[in-house]
Chains A and B, each alone.
Chain A
Amino acid sequence: MTVMALSRSGGVHVALAALAALAGIVILPNAAPLYTLINVTLYMSMGVFALSLALLWGYGGILCFGQSAFFGLGAYAYAVAAINFGDTTLAAVFAIGVPALFAAGLGYFLFYGRLSDVYLGVITLTVTLIFFKLINSTGGDAWRIGAARLGGFNGIPTTPLLTIPFTRIPMSPAQMFIFAAISLFSTYALCKGLIVTRFGRAVIAVRENEMRAELLGYNARRLKLAVFVISAGIAGLAGLLFANSVFVSPTMFSLSMAAQVLIWVVVGGLGTLFGPVAACFALQIATAVLGKLGIVDPNIVLGLVLIIFVVFVPGGIQPAFAALLHRLMDIRADRPVAGEVAR
């Protein structure tokens, strides 16, 4: 089933995601203990982060090693803006706008340089490492933007919590959970919708064959720049959610953060949207549980999972699941449903 067909049946996927989000919003806040609520909010912020790379790399074909640069930039922009302006709704706009703006500048520098994807990957990795080293050394109190001290290695623990729009009341963990659920769902729907539009199809075309796309009149560089900026904005939104469920610190730019999001997309399935989000939840839970049980070092498990998936399940879980199910359906169904199988 080609990517296009996959996306045409997007309507079903979006409806189902809406169901899941709604169920989550209604059931979890009052059923689950507060601790699980906060954790799920964190996992959802990571889910949005995974979506940003799933869109950029899966559909745009742009191998960005340093997606954590936009993630961290969004969180820091939110923290600095919220502390200085006090109005967190405006700060939220900064959280999305600043990384998007930075991506526009960086994207122009990258895409108008005709770089091959590995070089592009390494340069984006360099950018996030530069951010990590710079922010890490802003410990002194000379490093401040307005009233907000960047705090270097300590990060900004005094980041104000997101307030309910147009009020001054900071969101309670339950409200934060609902906001995160809505953000995750709407980002998923946005990505699903984007792919079906003419813009989305053009981006996929550029990924498949940049020269042919240009010979058909598509400005490949501008399309890549556009999807680069959009995915940076989504990563900024994820940074905003993360800033409200954990706290803003240089580790958001670190190599391990950049690695995690790549692992989720690979394990989840390149070219799919739901796969990376599911892999993100599963691996996050596994790391947390392993961290607490302490029987084995989480790195060992994460490392093994990644090696096994890359070598034995190259497509990632979602396509593997789909293939498994198609085989199951073929065996069980006595007369193969022509339409279903042929699609």
Chain B
Amino acid sequence: MKINRRLFLGGTAMALTAPWVNRAFAADDIMIASIYDLSGGLEIYGQPIDACLDLAVSELNDAGGLLGRKVKVQKYDPQSNIQLYTQFATEAATSLKASAVFGGITSASREAIRPLLGRYQTLYFYSPLYEGGVCDRNTFLTGSTPSQTIGQLMPFAVKNFGKKVYVLAADYNYGQISAKWVRDYTGKAGGEVIAAEFFPLDVTDFSAAIQKIQRDKPDVIYTLLVGGNHMSFFRQWAAAGMAGKIPIVSTSFGGGNEHIVLTPAESDGVMAAFGYFQEIKSPANDAFVKRYHQKFGDKAPYVTEHASATYNAVHHWANGVRKANSLDRMAVIEAIESGSTVAGPGGPSTIDPKTHHCATDVHIGRVKNHSFEILESFPNQPPADTAAVCNLAANPNDNQQYVIQ
């Protein structure tokens, strides 16, 4: 009995301290970390983001890297499990000592690692679109916020379809807060949210909700559904013969390839507002899409707004490093704050120094046979919602997420 215990203890202690992170990195490479779900329920969001990050980094290295050094990415796959997010963020900050961390898909995972990266003084970029309100000097957010997308989509929906809006949202902070913004902007546009239902991410049975919608007879349905399980709403909606009967608008549909996975009968006609669509006709986007398919082939995942914003985030970081001519966190932050614009595929993305968010173009698209046709575009929309409450120039130590009441 006793012998085996010493053997055991000795063994485990040794396995822990030995640095098994044996990446073959040259000593002088610049290390950045990427934490995106590449397996589990959120894989559909992670794959395109990961591809665009690689594309941006390879562009930097092809142009000679930064400060004369190559940029290397250490990738972590949290497997759609928030517990691994916190573990990997801690490792990236304390063991890898990355100069920047690009990570977090759901708002839940962002709020899990943002405080950690602040505590361990590691620069953080969050690129997916989200519910807005984060005010943190150590964090830059390159995705769109409600005022940019919902702010344009609601007037469009109320004008074209009617005043009575029925909201279906994912039951976590993204869904809850965005639903409040929908209520706010619907009111401003003269409409009214007649009902809002919230569904945890593992719900697959929407038959009751479909009956309730038919009972309340709204003019337009606003969906903020997220993840693989929620796609069954659109399947069951079509199966109930309701496809096309009541228009559906959303600021999350398409972010998870829903329009590709679902059949045209289930997804045609759904309208969405994003900072980027792969179908945008512009010289910058055409070149970007060509480079993207050159690098990853034609079967590469559809580029969502989350992915294009990640591409922008890497370049914003690069601008900061070049301007500051150093990797020091504060120097890079101040350099980015002094002004950084990236000619992104969806149009110019300009950092707003007071909120660390990006002013971007916003487009409304409608699904037609697995792809979006662009209906309207709104150039250079500012992150008005966050700007109303957050001013990092005035109080730089502000570190919280403001939530609309």
Contacts and interface: CB of A to CB of B under 8 A. Distances in A.
Interface of A: 9, 12-13, 16, 20, 24, 28, 31-36, 38-40, 42, 133, 136-137, 139-141, 151-155, 157-158, 246-247, 249, 251, 274, 278, 281-282, 285, 288-289, 291-292, 294, 297-298, 321-322, 324-325
B112 A155 contact: yes
B95 interface: yes
Interface residues of B, number: 46
Contacts of A251: 81-83
A137 B87 contact: no
Interface string B329-368: 0000000000000000000000000000000000000000
A153 B21 CA distance: 31
A153 B112 contact: no
B112 A157 contact: yes
A28 B202 CA distance: 40
29 contacts: A16-B2, A28-B13, A32-B16, A33-B17, A33-B19, A33-B95, A34-B95, A35-B94, A36-B16, A38-B94, A39-B87, A133-B200, A137-B171, A139-B198, A152-B171, A152-B200, A153-B171, A153-B200, A154-B111, A154-B173, A157-B115, A274-B5, A278-B8, A285-B15, A291-B84, A292-B21, A298-B79, A324-B4, A325-B4
A291 B35 CA distance: 12
Contact of B1 (A32, A42, A291, A325): A325
Interface of B: 1-5, 8-9, 12-13, 15-17, 19-21, 38-39, 76-79, 81-84, 86-87, 90-91, 94-95, 107-108, 111-112, 115, 171-173, 175-176, 198, 200-202, 403
A321 B4 contact: yes
A278 B8 CA distance: 8
A35 B95 contact: yes
A136 B173 CA distance: 11
A32 B82 CA distance: 25
Contacts of B17: 31-33, 36
Contacts of B9: 20
B3 A325 contact: yes
- Complex A-B, nearest 3 residue pairs according to Cβ-Cβ distance, in ascending order: A35-B95, A153-B172, A154-B108
A297 to B, nearest CB: 7
B132 to A, nearest CB: 16
A9 B21 CA distance: 41
Given A154-B111, A294-B38, 6 more contacts: A33-B17, A36-B17, A139-B175, A152-B173, A249-B112, A289-B20
B171 A291 contact: no
A322 B1 contact: yes
Nearest to A321: B4
A294 B77 contact: yes
Nearest to A329: B3
Contact of B94 (A13, A34, A155): A34
Given A42-B87, A247-B112, A136 B16 contact: no
A152 B175 CA distance: 12
A158 B115 contact: yes
B196 to A, nearest CB: 10
Given A31-B17, A152-B171, A291 B77 contact: yes
Contacts of A32: 16-17
B83 A33 contact: no
Contacts of A298: 79
B345 to A, nearest CB: 28
A117 B5 CA distance: 32
Contact of A137 (B4, B82, B198): B198
A280 B186 CA distance: 52
A130 B268 CA distance: 37
By CB atoms of chain A within 10 A, which of B20, B87, B175 has the most? Answer: B87
Contacts of B8: 278
A321 B8 CA distance: 10
B268 to A, nearest CB: 30
B2 A12 contact: yes
B72 to A, nearest CB: 15
Contact of B200 (A31, A38, A137): A137
A298 B13 CA distance: 22
Nearest to A286: B15
Contact of B12 (A140, A153, A278): A278
B114 to A, nearest CB: 8
A180 B328 CA distance: 34
A297 B81 CA distance: 14
By CB atoms of chain B within 10 A, which of A24, A285, A291 has the most? Answer: A291
Contact of B90 (A16, A35, A281, A322): A35
B226 to A, nearest CB: 10
Given A139-B173, A154-B108, A251-B81, A40 B86 contact: no
B156 to A, nearest CB: 27
A151 B401 CA distance: 13
B31 to A, nearest CB: 14
B54 to A, nearest CB: 15
Nearest to B112: A157
A34 B116 CA distance: 14
A281 B12 contact: yes
B4 A322 contact: yes
A31 B81 CA distance: 30
A20 B2 CA distance: 12
A246 B20 contact: no
By CB atoms of chain B within 10 A, which of A24, A36, A40 has the most? Answer: A36
Contacts of B172: 139, 152-154
A153 B108 contact: yes
Contacts of A28: 13
A38 B90 contact: yes
A304 B175 CA distance: 38
Nearest to A285: B15
A33 B94 contact: yes
A322 B1 CA distance: 6
Contacts of B1: 9, 12-13, 322, 325
A39 B20 CA distance: 14
A136 B202 contact: yes
B83 A246 contact: yes
A325 B3 CA distance: 8
Given A42-B87, A152-B200, A325-B3, A249 B77 contact: no
Nearest to B21: A292
Contacts of B86: 246-247
A7 to B, nearest CB: 13
Contacts of B4: 321-322, 324-325
A157 B89 CA distance: 14
A249 B173 contact: no
A274 B5 CA distance: 9
